[in-house]
Structure 1
Amino acid sequence: MSKKYIVHIDLDSFFVSVERKFNPSLMGKPVIIGGAEGRGVVASCSYEARQFGIHSAMPTQQALKLCPHAIVLRGSHGRYSEASREVTEIIHDSVPLYQKTSVDEFYIDLTGMDRYYDPYILATELRQRIIRQTGLPISFGMASCKTVAKMATNQAKPNGQLWIKHGDEKSFMAPLNISKIPMLGEKTCEKLYQYGIEKIRDLQKVDIRFLETVFGKAGHYIWEKANGIDDSEIVPHSERKSISTEHTFGNNTTDRRTLETILVSMTEELAFKLRSENKLASCLAIKLRYANFETHTLQEKIAFTSAEHILIPGIKNLLKRAWNQHRPIRLIGVKLSQLCSGSYQINLFEDNEEQIKLYKAMDTINFKYGNKTVCRAAGMEIGQRNFNPFLSK
């Protein structure tokens, strides 16, 4: 069986780096990208700002107390989406298999390429090509699996690269804090700290049966991660994936309120489905079918999001642009497309602290008791109808 060569690519301080392309005077300064200074939160910050203890999702007011001279920028949705697409196109044209896990993060599988090329040289050349063509700093890590590759990238930052050779995984990880293991949550780390387990080397020495006693089935997962064992595959990236739904009226309608009520409910449920699958959409579309079966669609590119308070106004605006109000509608549909993996990251630009907490609380309740348990009042009017959002290619 051939050795696996997995590359993890991460665009350093992506949003800050994009802003610096357009305004070089920001170079070397503490920069915060995010919401308004009032109740907004930090979406991203420069390494200079991080030195003051500032981090993503921190209230902007708190960040400015830590670093009063930081430069706060509102953020430019269009610039970030376009830069992400530009990097994606370069990777798409350069490698046979890749996975886009967020707007600024990718996994690439170069397994088997070593028969013809040196995988590390290939990855190095790709990194240089992205830097040259986009002007954005970028780091990568290469290893035998996704977990170690991601950890290597984090060690290589800022603007560096690191190859963990086969057989060196455990020794590379050993001196690092257990919090450096991807997907190991804060509560899990706190529990391990209570047992005196702080470094990954400590975790590597622990009997797997002890971890299973403390954490149940997750104990085996934690042990494998600590020992650099990760069999997860690269899921091929596709920009064509979409999520959509349609509603056919029993009687054709020209009532705007009815149409908007349906649209709110559909968009809300699609947005919830996006968040439950950890996805973001960067294109929204509306479909109208008139009484004579004539069908019209209209779409619009947007910044990556899964927040309905951004999506709903966009969908309502598309209805206003697409609908000839003198013609009765038989069917209406909503489609969110050009999906990529990601959670609340991009939404931090628009959301204040209360909105982020609200979404998380709503999702927690809806995950537990079923969606539509908590929803907007407009959506409750048709909460009983048969609604089946689905993923399609």
Structure 2
Amino acid sequence: MGVKRHIVHIDLDSFFVSVERKFDPSLIGKPVIIGGSSDRGVVASASYEARAFGVHSAMPTRQALKLCPQAVVVHGTYGRYSEASREVTEIIHRSVPLYQKTSVDEFYIDLTGMDRFYDPYDVATNLRQTVIRETGLPISFGMASSKTLAKMATNQAKPNGQLRIPHGGEREFLAPLNIRKIPGLGESTCQKLYQYGLEKIGDLQRVNLKFLEAVFGKMGTYIYNKANGIDDSDIIPHSDRKSISTENTFESDVKDRRTLENILVSMTEELAGKLRRENKVAGCLAIKLRYSNFETHTVQQKIALTAAEHILIPGIKNLLDKAWNQHRPIRLIGVKLSNLSTGSYQINLFEDNEQRIRLYQAMDTINFRFGDKTICRAAGMEVGARSFNPFLKD
């Protein structure tokens, strides 16, 4: 059977809203929207009170205010969120041996092996209470035998709750949930499964793997494993990160080159900005394409150390030309920057002009103060409200 894994997924509930409520308690209990101005901005985060009206992140603020006119709009300051995130990270860092920070408000913790000395659920419970006590922020966790299940448990535990899926109880936990709850399943795949009368994960558990492979190809194996609670992916310690990546699954397959390029530009800008904030540069870039039959292609290219978009974006577009068979529509696209090392992007001073360096510094300052996508290239802007900001999440 192997070692029993104890994986915890921790998520700070409506994080930006919770941070703002600490600074202004009058916001407690009210529908709150964090985001840009009502004429051009998008929602970065919404309180549960606002979500009840159908408001969600990445929605244009104007539309959100039509759904919930009484909402209070707060123009968030990124510095507050990064500081709150740092406080939570420090508590986790001193409390557990192995963790992975996957976004500003989300962590995976591996407590495998600790059950020889402590009940891992008690460890997670105490950690959650410590975060609430020391930061005043609401937080939820799920605990299970894998990352996927722990994340799904957190979603069931929200808001401000906790849930343990016992070993051996994975399939039972999953069975009553809608197939939409499986992370990474696109809308078109769900619709196709519905046509076969498969609505609950329990329905999928009764289906033969061969059938799913015949209908969905490699994707069928993925669906089968997730439905049966099979996931052995590891927790990668934050400090060991040698790459940075982002990807997007389309609800319906895309073969329009301009759309793909705009999304790649947006993703590359997001990653490059993140590198510059962390004072890192990349020496290798890669793109990942997945076709509708789940066939996946990755191509990469070594580059001079940089974190500047004007070097990265042409490289990424060039990789798209190499990787993409243009007759085939794409289901998922991703960008990865790797071979990271510490160093300022001004390493490129000899090939950058002063004006360009000042432009990056200005962009970074504005984006740091007002959120990741305040200012970006026109191509990236065409992506519009479907921003790839890592801090935007439901």
Q: Is TM-score (shorter-chain normalized) higher than 0.5? A: yes
Given residue 152 of structure 1, which amino acid in structure 2 is its aligned partner? A
What secondary structure does 1:124 align onto?
A: helix
Matched ranges for 1:57-96 at <5 A: 57-96=58-97
Corresponding residue for 1:135?
136
How far the C-alpha of 1:352 sits from its partner, in A, is 12
Corresponding residue for 1:254?
none
CA distance in 1, matches of 2:87, 2:12: 12
Corresponding residue for 2:33?
32
Matched ranges for 1:331-350 at <5 A: 347=372
How far the C-alpha of 1:39 sits from its partner, in A, is 2.2
Larger Rg: 1
Given residue 172 of structure 1, which amino acid in structure 2 is its aligned partner? F
CA distance in 1, matches of 2:191, 2:232: 26
Question: Cα distance 1:140–1:361, how it changes in 2: closer, same or farther (>3 A)?
Answer: closer
Corresponding residue for 1:323?
none
CA deviations on 1:63-110 (whole Å, 9 max, x unpaired) are 111111111112111001111111111111111111111111100000
User: Which runs of 5 or more structure 1 residues have no equivalent in the other structure?
Assistant: 247-261, 292-308, 319-345, 364-393
| Residues 58 and 386, structure 2, Cα contact 8 Å, conserved in 1 | no
| Residues 282 and 337, structure 2, Cα contact 8 Å, conserved in 1 | no
Corresponding residue for 2:251?
none
Matched ranges for 1:1-393 at <5 A: 1-238=2-239, 243-244=280-281, 265-266=310-311, 276-277=335-336, 285-287=344-346, 313-315=359-361, 347=372, 355-358=380-383
CA deviations on 1:243-263 (whole Å, 9 max, x unpaired) are 4169xxxxxxxxxxxxxxx96
CA deviations on 1:183-217 (whole Å, 9 max, x unpaired) are 22222112212222111111111111111112111
TM-score under structure 1 normalisation?
Answer: 0.68
CA distance in 1, matches of 2:337, 2:209: 30
| Residues 40 and 353, structure 1, Cα contact 8 Å, conserved in 2 | no
CA distance in 1, matches of 2:171, 2:378: 39
| Residues 363 and 375, structure 2, Cα contact 8 Å, conserved in 1 | no
| Residues 100 and 107, structure 1, Cα contact 8 Å, conserved in 2 | yes
Question: Cα distance 1:353–1:125, how it changes in 2: closer, same or farther (>3 A)?
Answer: farther
Corresponding residue for 2:329?
none
CA distance in 2, matches of 1:78, 1:194: 47
Question: Cα distance 1:187–1:348, how it changes in 2: closer, same or farther (>3 A)?
Answer: farther
CA distance in 2, matches of 1:109, 1:124: 14
CA distance in 1, matches of 2:172, 2:181: 14
How far the C-alpha of 1:117 sits from its partner, in A, is 0.7
Given residue 372 of structure 2, which amino acid in structure 1 is its aligned partner? N
| Residues 12 and 158, structure 1, Cα contact 8 Å, conserved in 2 | yes
How far the C-alpha of 1:359 sits from its partner, in A, is 7.9
CA deviations on 1:28-58 (whole Å, 9 max, x unpaired) are 1111111211122111100001101111111
What secondary structure does 2:239 align onto?
A: coil
4+ long deviations beyond 6 Å = 269-273, 351-354, 359-363
What secondary structure does 1:209 align onto?
A: helix
Question: Cα distance 1:360–1:32, how it changes in 2: closer, same or farther (>3 A)?
Answer: closer
Given residue 383 of structure 2, which amino acid in structure 1 is its aligned partner? L
Question: Cα distance 1:270–1:89, how it changes in 2: closer, same or farther (>3 A)?
Answer: farther
Given residue 210 of structure 2, which amino acid in structure 1 is its aligned partner? R
How far the C-alpha of 1:169 sits from its partner, in A, is 0.8
Identity over the aligned pairs, expressed in percent? 63
Question: Cα distance 1:140–1:265, how it changes in 2: closer, same or farther (>3 A)?
Answer: same
Corresponding residue for 1:328?
none
Question: Cα distance 1:312–1:86, how it changes in 2: closer, same or farther (>3 A)?
Answer: farther
Given residue 310 of structure 2, which amino acid in structure 1 is its aligned partner? S
How far the C-alpha of 1:271 sits from its partner, in A, is 9.9
What secondary structure does 1:33 align onto?
A: strand
TM-score under structure 2 normalisation?
Answer: 0.68
Corresponding residue for 2:287?
none
| Residues 34 and 349, structure 1, Cα contact 8 Å, conserved in 2 | no
CA distance in 1, matches of 2:94, 2:315: 31
CA distance in 2, matches of 1:23, 1:362: 28
How many pairs align? 301
CA distance in 1, matches of 2:14, 2:380: 24
Given residue 265 of structure 1, which amino acid in structure 2 is its aligned partner? H
Report which stretch shifted further, 224-233 or 353-362: 353-362
What secondary structure does 1:29 align onto?
A: coil
What secondary structure does 1:347 align onto?
A: coil
